[in-house]
Chains A and B, each alone.
Chain A
Amino acid sequence: MKQVVFRLIVASFIALLSATVPLTAMAAGESDTPAITEETIATAGAAPTINIDKTTLENGGTIKVSGQAPAGMPIYLEVWAEEHTVKSNLFDSKKDKETGKIPYIFYITEEMPAYYKIFVPKEMQPKIDAAKKEGNKWSYSALLKELGADIAYNVPAAAKVDRYQATLMASVIGSRGKLLDPMDAKENRKRSMQLVKARFRSVGNVVSADINVSPDGAYTADIKIRKGLSPGKYKIVALSSKELKSEPAVFENRISFPTVYMSNAGTSMNLVYPFVLCLAVSIFGVLMGAGGGFIMNPLLITLFPALPHTIVAGTVTPTVLFSQGSGIFNYSKIKFISWKLGCGIGCAMLLGGFIGPKLTEMITLDQFKFAFGWILIVLASLMFWQTTPGYIAKNKKEQSILNEFKKRALEATKAKS
């Protein structure tokens, strides 16, 4: 009996000992990734670990990321907005080097994360500076390869990219073109990279050399999340290779009124700014005698470069619609409109207004700014010409007739009622 008990005690003691060994090994390693411990002992390179110092941000801030990568291997951080996606489109009108023909294919995705950035080790800063020097011609895919960061490029590659074959006929009727078959994964990935650049535009928005790596593989990084980004959950993944990646760390970006997230635009903005700007511009427009649309657009684009130009164009247009409508209403009340003339030219403008918005998608922001710059110069000279004495003299006579008509019209309507 005593022997059995003794053997039992020894057996349980041995069991206890053999259980504590892996337990202490686990405690010695990182506390948040217990599943990796066996791999740490078994394989030479193990998946990186990741820790973040805070899990909520109030409209941006800095997150301190730290962790352990396998010694000697590179480490990258892929950061993206999980909860919000935005649209990105690209019109391929560049001559293909091999065939010499222009493809005229329109690429579009609705699944681009509202925020996407890859962080690389600090030593790689010169490569990023070299890409910045290229100005607008920088290539996102080439930069990723150069930094070795294409292993970290995962989330947008999975976004579904549609492509349309644009034709002259299709442009005339205002359609995007014929929807082509879906691309294979490799082509989808390549085009998604172009769409990332199309959406986020500058090098600094998509890559940053902020990771400090020490020789034993431990790394730290300060991730700065700027103001005005989309709210909700964001994820950070640390990667050393295609297979070796950490569990995602999650943080939440919170915004509060009057900062509001505009889902189509993909940015959060303090709504007071566009309100005040629009107020100033519309008052000015009334004083000047012309509408406000052509001033609102470039002002919004220069003051808030985070807004995509398609959204600006599309949202300013209905804003001026109502002032035009009320103007027409007021004028028609005093019978001051020639319906025949207005509708006649109006029908031609109907067609033009049908084609125009599709073209907005197809030009890049820089082309937009360039064209708009020239338009404004033309407009400014037109308006200046309207203030020259010769024009005024000719106009005075017409203005007096105009006022005369207005008076008569007002009296006529008053007499009727």
Chain B
Amino acid sequence: MKVNFWGQEFQVNMWVGCLGGFLIAIMSSMFGFGGGPFMVPLMSVALGLPMYLVVGSSLLAIFFNTTVSTMRHYQFGNFDLIFFLAMFPAALLGGYIGPQIAKRVSPLVVKRVACVGLLLLALNLLGVY
């Protein structure tokens, strides 16, 4: 399938994209997250697309996933309103404060720290410690 972006044309293999998106969507909605960090490598590596195309489009794709997932979870009674209201303002605030700090911090360092943190968390979940 051909995609047009700012005057440049890209050939996108929609079979791979849709299958990958489908599987990522199942997994991420099952576990309650959006799937962004999985979509970006999918689109940039498996589909061979450049980063400037991937950033916005992956966001759009996982928006669909998150919306449907929210509706289904609500249907199943997995949604706790008070809990949500406790976290929602914090998310909004974070989205506002984050970019202010982002100018002064190197994203590379942040990413490395995040890797270590995620690894520790993963080990905890797996019961290693």
Contact = CB atoms under 8 A, between A and B. Distances in A.
A348 B76 contact: no
Interface string A388-417: 000010010011011001001000000000
A99 B52 CA distance: 57
Interface stretch (A13-21, A31-39, A57-65, A296-304): A296-304
Contact of A275 (B41, B60, B87, B118): B87
Given A87-B77, A369-B126, A373-B123, A287 B98 contact: yes
A256 interface: no
B33 A291 contact: yes
Contact of B93 (A87, A279, A355, A383): A279
A314 B114 contact: no
Given A279-B94, A352-B25, A377-B122, A265 B101 contact: no
A336 B68 CA distance: 24
Interface in A339-360: 339-360
A344 B67 contact: no
Secondary structure at chain A's binding surface: helix, strand, loop or mixed? helix
Interface stretch (A43-51, A181-189, A241-249, A305-313): A305-313
Contacts of B82: 260-263, 271
Interface in B27-52: 27-41, 43, 50-52
A409 to B, nearest CB: 8
A262 B82 CA distance: 6
A155 B18 CA distance: 49
Most chain B CB neighbours (cut-off 10 Å) among A317, A342, A344, A392: A317
Most chain A CB neighbours (cut-off 10 Å) among B38, B74, B82, B124: B82
Q: What bracket does the count of chain B residues touching chain A fall in? A: 35 or more
Contact of A282 (B43, B95, B112, B122): B95
Given A290-B37, A338-B57, A314 B87 contact: no
A358 B69 CA distance: 10
B60 A318 contact: no
Given A293-B34, A353-B67, A374-B122, 5 more contacts: A293-B28, A293-B32, A316-B87, A320-B91, A372-B125
27 contacts: A262-B80, A269-B83, A277-B90, A282-B95, A289-B111, A294-B37, A301-B125, A310-B73, A311-B78, A315-B80, A317-B29, A322-B88, A324-B66, A331-B59, A338-B5, A338-B56, A347-B18, A349-B35, A349-B65, A351-B22, A352-B24, A352-B25, A357-B72, A358-B72, A371-B31, A375-B27, A376-B121
